[in-house]
Amino acid sequence: MGTPPKVVNGKPTIEVAPCHSADVILARQPGRSSLAQQTVIVIGSSTGGTEALRALLTALPEGMPPILIAQHMPEMFTKSFAARLDSLCKLAVKEAEDNERLQANTVYIAPGHSHLLLKAGPSVGLFTSLNAGPPVNRHRPSVDVLFRSAANLVGKNCIGVILTGMGRDGANGMAELKQAGAYNIAQDEASCVVFGMPKEAIAQGGAHEVLPLTAIAGRLVALAQQRPPQL
Q: 172: which residues sit within 8 A by CB, 6+ positions away?
A: 21, 22, 144, 147, 148, 204
* Per-residue model confidence as pLDDT tens digits over 122-180: 777 899 999 998 898 889 999 999 999 999 999 999 999 999 999 999 999 999 999 99
Output the CATH code of domain 22-225.
3.40.50.180
In a 3-state reduction of DSSP, which class is residue 98?
coil
Catalytic residue among 46, 114, 129, 191: 46
pLDDT at site 1: 37
Mean pLDDT check: name the lowest of 7-11, 20-24, 203-207: 7-11
Q: Which of 174, 179, 204, 161 is nearest to 22 (CA)?
A: 174
Tell me the pLDDT tens digit for each residue of 31-78: 666 666 789 999 999 999 999 999 999 999 999 999 999 999 999 999
Residue positions counted in the chain: 231
* 98 carries an active-site annotation: no
Q: Output b/e per residue, 174-184; b: 16+ Cβ within 10 A.
A: bbbbbebebbb
The residue among 180, 215, 179, 158 whose CA lies nearest residue 44 is 158
Q: Looking at 20, 34, 45, 72, which residue is catalytic?
A: 72
d(CA 196, CA 145): 18
Between residues 230 and 22, the one the model is more confident about: 22
Percent of the chain at pLDDT exceeding 90:
75
Domain boundaries of the chain, sorted by first residue: 22-225
The DSSP code for 136 is: B
The chain-wide mean pLDDT, for the chain, equals 90
Q: What pLDDT does residue 33 have?
A: 60
**Number of CB atoms found within 10 A of residue 41's CB:** 24
Catalytic-residue membership of 114: no
Q: Assign 23 a pLDDT band (cuts: 50, 70, 90).
A: confident
Query: How far from chain centre, in Å, is Cα 39?
Result: 15
My answer on whether omega of the bond before 229 falls inside 30° of 0, hence cis, is no
Out of 142, 144, 169, 191, the active site residue is 169
- Give the pLDDT band of residue 2 (cuts 50, 70, 90): very low
Active site residue 46: yes
